[in-house]
């Protein structure tokens, strides 16, 4: 079997409750993407009529160019040799500098599609090619920023809920959701920026969260500042989680080997691929660290890939899920995934068990893939500073926020 072509399908993603024909982005349970959310799907064709699909995330509109640049290196290759082809592409990019989001996203979508081809060619689901299953279904968690959304998740059987913030963590809100859902439901807090908290603010917030029995405290400081993460780790008695912005085993390595987190969160669309996710999981397993893949902005194909990975590793924690996503999400793939009793069933069809619906994707051409910051944004930035767009900042309002136990 030989690779004959690689196709890319880029689309703009719309907001919940909006007409699908507009595909305008808006607020999702995972956050506000400010009109910037795109999905990029990859389809690899072969001379035997078998095709595979994958998904690239990170910066989809730019990654599409990367995939097209890499395509000539794969034409005529046997798609069965997945890891060798991955390393061939990795080596081809190194002259441009260290691998980043764009390279990681391109490698991920391509490698995912190669696994899909291999599974279809052998008549086996990807999880079986990875060594078989630990579990038939994967536990998921959802996002809630108020008690009403939490109730909707609980009605679907969710037993894990995350409250996310861009900017100051509203401790009163977290406490109210914890009181509302009780202690039998796992609660998580995501403090992702920008603007990021300073180390001392992250520690102060973390200490206030200690009594709320969190499953984890996610991204308390900027991802580049691993020393700050280490200081938070030493000062706060709450499990920590991070890693959604890095690619490959080399990107996640310091989080694991320095013992900075209890949970790694590689993004299934930009971590480097299914093989890299498995290697990350193995590294984490050796340090008694669990894995809970990021899925905050991903489309539906990467979700299928995540299920295959999570089914095959012993240290799977939970999978992030945008339960209340854009209404067109289920239209661009077949079949679709559903949550039952807080879990998603691992697919049994050959390959990934999913295909893209091209005619639906083409209805939503990409317009923009970067977020526009509003000068009036009082959520991500301290009052009156949004026009400065600081990457990190001290929380002047911290004293009045940190009062839930005083």
Which active-site residues does the annotation give? Answer: 192, 294
Q: Which residues contact 294 (CB under 8 A, 6 or more apart)?
A: 243, 244, 265, 266, 267, 268, 320
Nearest to 116 by CA among 88, 89, 82, 86: 82
- Strand stretches in 286-325, DSSP E: 290-291, 319-320
Q: Are 238 and 210 in contact (CB under 8 A)?
A: yes
Classified as helix, coil or strand, 99 is: coil
Residue 238: left (phi > 0), alpha (psi -120 to 50), or beta? beta
Phi, psi (rounded to 5 degrees) for 96: -90, -5
Residue 254's alpha-carbon distances to 51, 258, 266, 320, in angstroms, are 36, 5, 13, 23
Classified as helix, coil or strand, 45 is: strand
Query: Which helix (DSSP H) or strand (DSSP E) does residue 190 occupy?
Result: strand 186-190
Q: Which residues contact 234 (CB under 8 A, 6 or more apart)?
A: none
Calpha distance 17→29 (Å, rounded): 13
Chain centroid, CA 103 distance in Å = 16
What tokens does 23 get? 């595909």
For 224-235, b/e burial (b = at least 16 CB within 10 A) is: ebbebbbbbbee
Q: Which residues contact 122 (CB under 8 A, 6 or more apart)?
A: 129, 350
């Amino acid at each position: 079997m030989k690779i004959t072509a690689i196709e890319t399908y880029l689309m703009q993603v719309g907001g919940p409750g909006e007409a699908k024909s507009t595909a305008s982005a808006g607020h999702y349970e995972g956050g506000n993407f400010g009109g910037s959310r795109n999905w990029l799907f990859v389809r690899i064709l072969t001379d035997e009529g078998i095709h595979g699909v994958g998904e690239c995330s990170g910066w989809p509109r730019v990654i599409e160019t990367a995939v097209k640049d890499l395509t000539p290196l794969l034409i005529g290759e046997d798609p069965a040799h997945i890891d060798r082809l991955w390393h061939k592409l990795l080596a081809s990019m190194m002259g441009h500098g260290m691998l980043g989001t764009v390279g990681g996203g391109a490698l991920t979508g391509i490698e995912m599609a190669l696994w899909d081809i291999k599974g279809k060619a052998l008549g086996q689901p990807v999880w079986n090619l990875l060594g078989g299953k630990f579990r038939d279904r994967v536990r998921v968690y959802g996002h809630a920023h108020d008690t009403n959304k939490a109730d909707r998740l609980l009605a679907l059987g969710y037993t894990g809920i995350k409250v996310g913030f861009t900017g100051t963590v509203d401790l009163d809100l977290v406490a109210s959701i914890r009181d509302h859902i009780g202690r039998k439901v796992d609660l998580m807090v995501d403090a992702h920026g920008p603007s990021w908290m300073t180390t001392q603010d992250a520690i102060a917030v973390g200490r206030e969260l200690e009594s709320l029995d969190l499953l984890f405290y996610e991204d308390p400081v900027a991802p580049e500042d691993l020393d700050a993460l280490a200081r938070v780790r030493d000062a706060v008695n709450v499990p920590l989680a991070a890693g959604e912005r890095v690619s490959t085993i080399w990107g996640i390595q310091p989080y694991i080997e320095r013992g900075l987190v209890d949970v790694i969160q590689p993004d299934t669309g930009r971590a480097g691929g299914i093989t890299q996710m498995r290697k990350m999981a193995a590294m984490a397993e050796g340090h008694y660290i669990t894995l809970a893949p990021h899925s905050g902005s991903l489309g539906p194909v990467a979700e299928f890939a995540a299920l295959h990975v999570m089914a095959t590793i012993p240290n799977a924690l939970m999978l992030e899920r945008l339960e209340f996503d854009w209404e067109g999400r289920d239209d661009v793939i077949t079949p679709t995934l559903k949550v039952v009793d807080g879990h998603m069933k691992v697919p049994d069809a050959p390959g990934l068990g999913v295909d893209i619906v091209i005619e639906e994707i083409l209805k939503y051409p990409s317009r923009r893939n970067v977020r526009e910051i509003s000068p009036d944004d009082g959520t991500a930035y301290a009052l009156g500073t949004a026009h400065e767009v600081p990457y990190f900042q001290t929380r002047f309002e911290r004293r009045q926020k940190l009062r839930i136990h005083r």
